[in-house]
Amino acid sequence: MTQKPFSQACENNKDPILTELKRLFTKVHRVLEIGSGTGQHAAYFAPQLRHLFWQPTDVAANLAGIELWVAEANAKNLGVSQVLNMERPNWRNFRFDAVYSANTAHIMAWPLVQTMIAGAAAELPQDGLFVLYGPFNYNGKYTSDSNERFDAHLRGVNSNQGIRHFEKVDECAQAARLVLQEDIAMPANNRLLVWKKR
C-alpha cells in the first residue's frame, strides 16, 4: 500500500507561493503542473483557486502518492494526476493556459529542463503564463551559503542535478517566445519566475 508522501519544503512554501498565484492566475482557466512531486501543492492550491482547473502531472512512479493527496483534497477543480515525463513528453494530452512547476529545474537534468520550457511554451496560447519556482544562481554566483551547500548535495547525489543559472533558464525561455514578467524573491532563498508567451 502506498504511503502518502510528505515534503516539509512544500509545507513551508505553500502559503507564500499561493499568495502570488492568487494574483498571477486571476484570468487563468487551466493550469498544468509539471512535476507535482508529493501532490501537496496541487491539493492545497486547487481548493483555493476554484475559478480554474488544476492538472497535476509527474513521472509514473509518483502518481500513486499524488493521488492520495488529490483524493483527500476532494476538489472538483483538481484533476486526476497523469503521466508527463520530460524524456517522452506527451504535451498534446493536455490543454492549458498556464504552467506551474516547483523545485523541478534543479532535479531534472539540464536537457530535460530545456525540453520542459520549450515544449510547454509551444503549447501555451498567446499571453499564457509559465511560472517556475525554486533556487537559482545569478551572475554565475550562489545567492546564499545555504544554496551553495544545497547545490553540492544535489551534485553529490546525481551529477546531472544542480541549481540552474537564471540567465541560462531565461535564455531558453526567450528562445521559446516567453518574456520574463516578474522575478519574485521568496522565502528560503528561492525565486518565483513568471514568463508570458508572446
Give me the percent of the chain exceeding a pLDDT of 70. Answer: 100
Side-chain half-sphere exposure of 4, counting CA atoms within 13 A: 10
Q: What is the mean pLDDT of the segment spanning 74-99?
A: 98
2 falls in which pLDDT band (50, 70, 90)? confident
Q: Is the pLDDT of residue 1 over 90?
A: no
Q: In what order do the strands lie in the sheet with 82-83?
A: 82-83, 53-58, 30-33, 98-102, 129-134, 190-197, 178-186
Per-residue model confidence as pLDDT tens digits over 126-176 = 999 999 999 999 999 999 999 999 999 999 999 999 999 999 999 999 999
Q: Where are the domains of the chain?
A: 8-135+168-188+191-197
Rounded to the nearest integer, the mean pLDDT of the chain is 98
The domain defined by 8-135+168-188+191-197 folds into Rossmann fold (3.40.50)
pLDDT at 60: 98
* pTM given for the model: 0.98
| Cα radius of gyration rounded to whole Å, the chain | 16
Per-residue model confidence as pLDDT tens digits over 39-62 = 999 999 999 999 999 999 999 999
Residue that has been written with the C-alpha cell 503549447 in this structure: 123
Per-residue model confidence as pLDDT tens digits over 187-197 = 999 999 999 99
Q: Quick one: three-class SS letters along the chain? A: CCCCCCCHHHHHHHHHHHHHHHHHCCCCCEEEECCCCCCHHHHHHHHHCCCCEEEEEECHHHHHHHHHHHHHHCCCCECCCEECCCCCCCHHHCCCCEEEEECCCCCCCHHHHHHHHHHHHHHCCCCCEEEEEECEEECCECCCHHHHHHHHHHHHHCCCCCCEEHHHHHHHHHHCCEEEEEEEEEHHHEEEEEEEEC
